[in-house]
């Protein structure tokens, strides 16, 4: 099991290959549907004018994401009233919904690692080769177990997006994942998709 510390160096990224199990340690930021849409519309394509705390949040997440990791996760969090936040359950959400945004977001912020489940498509795979970066697959549904690797909730941005959609900054130790898309152009998901499609065609031809 390979230990990966965040921020991740280019050397470490290049050493990772599809199939490698890893344990991640360091600080990461959660971000899913609302966060990706917000980042792209407000700062990357700039089709929307920043309002309220947009500019301030942008300045504060930039150094966290530079060489860092974004985690597709909508956690269950306790301590919402007292603001003594604790992750109770925090497995990955389906990543493919961020496919239209992810590549641009990785390039803009220099994000080296994307954690989620279900894999991503060709645009993200291309960004993994360019930035360079990798896609880490966490086990979907393993929410109680993954929450144990979250040592601390450092802060939260955009809580007005709702608890699942907010950008939570968390410090993790030994966060378990498997590399399923690497910086060398390999994707386990593309491979399984293609093999299962051939298998389906075979089964349909039997009928």
Question: ∠ at Cα 75 (97, 161), nearest 5°?
Answer: 65
Residue 122 touching other proteins (CB under 8 A): no
Report which DSSP code applies to 156. E
Site string for other proteins, 125-164 (x = CB under 8 A): ------------x-xxxxxxxxxx------------xxxx
Burial of 198 (0-12, 13-18, 19+ CB in 10 A): exposed
The helix or strand, by DSSP H or E, that contains position 13, with its residue range, turns out to be helix 10-15
Site string for other proteins, 51-70 (x = CB under 8 A): --------------------
Residue 172 touching other proteins (CB under 8 A): no
Window of 3-11, 40-48, 55-63, 196-204 that interacts with other proteins by CB under 8 A: 196-204
In the complex with other proteins, the residue whose CB is nearer, 127 or 165, is: 165
Given 7, 50, 132, 176, the residue binding other proteins (CB under 8 A): 176
- The C-alpha atoms of residue 27 and residue 29 are separated, in whole angstroms, by 7
Is 137 tagged catalytic? no
Both tokens assigned to 133:
């970066």
Taking the CA of residue 128 as centre, how many other CA atoms within 13 Å lie in the half-sphere pointing to its CB? 28
Window of 6-14, 98-106, 149-157, 183-191 that interacts with other proteins by CB under 8 A: 183-191
- Residue tagged 């959400």 (tokens): 93
Both tokens assigned to 179:
């590399």
Q: Is 163 left (phi over 0), alpha (psi -120 to 50) or beta?
A: alpha
Both tokens assigned to 138:
């966490």
Minimum CB–partner distance for residue 137 and other proteins (Å): 7
Minimum CB–partner distance for residue 20 and other proteins (Å): 10
Residue 158: partners with Cβ closer than 8 Å, 6 or more residues away: 34, 35, 38, 57, 165, 166, 167
- Of 36, 72, 137, 189, which one is the catalytic site residue? 36
Given 165, 170, 175, 187, the residue binding other proteins (CB under 8 A): 165
Binding region for other proteins (CB under 8 A): 19, 21, 34, 73-78, 88-91, 93-94, 96, 117-119, 137, 139-148, 161-165, 176, 178, 180, 188-189, 191-193, 195-197, 199-200, 203-204, 207
Catalytic positions: 36
């Amino acid at each position: 099991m390979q230990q990966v510390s965040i921020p991740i160096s280019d050397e470490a990224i290049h050493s990772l290959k599809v199939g490698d199990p890893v344990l991640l340690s360091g600080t990461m930021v959660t971000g899913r549907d609302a966060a990706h849409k917000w980042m792209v519309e407000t700062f990357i394509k700039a089709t929307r004018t920043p309002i309220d705390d947009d500019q301030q949040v942008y300045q504060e997440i930039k150094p966290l994401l530079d060489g860092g990791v974004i985690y597709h996760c909508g956690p269950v969090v306790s301590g919402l009233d007292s603001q003594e936040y604790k992750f109770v359950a925090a497995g990955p959400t389906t990543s493919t919904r961020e496919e239209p945004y992810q590549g641009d977001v990785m390039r803009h912020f220099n994000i080296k690692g994307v954690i989620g489940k279900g894999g991503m498509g060709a645009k993200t795979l291309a960004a993994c080769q360019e930035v360079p970066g990798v896609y880490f697959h966490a086990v979907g549904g393993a929410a109680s177990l993954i929450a144990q690797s979250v040592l601390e909730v450092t802060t939260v941005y955009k809580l007005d997006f709702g608890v699942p959609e907010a950008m939570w900054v968390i410090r993790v130790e030994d966060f378990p994942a498997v590399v399923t898309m690497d910086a060398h152009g390999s994707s386990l998901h593309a491979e399984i998709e293609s093999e299962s499609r051939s298998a389906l065609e075979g089964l349909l031809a039997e009928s």
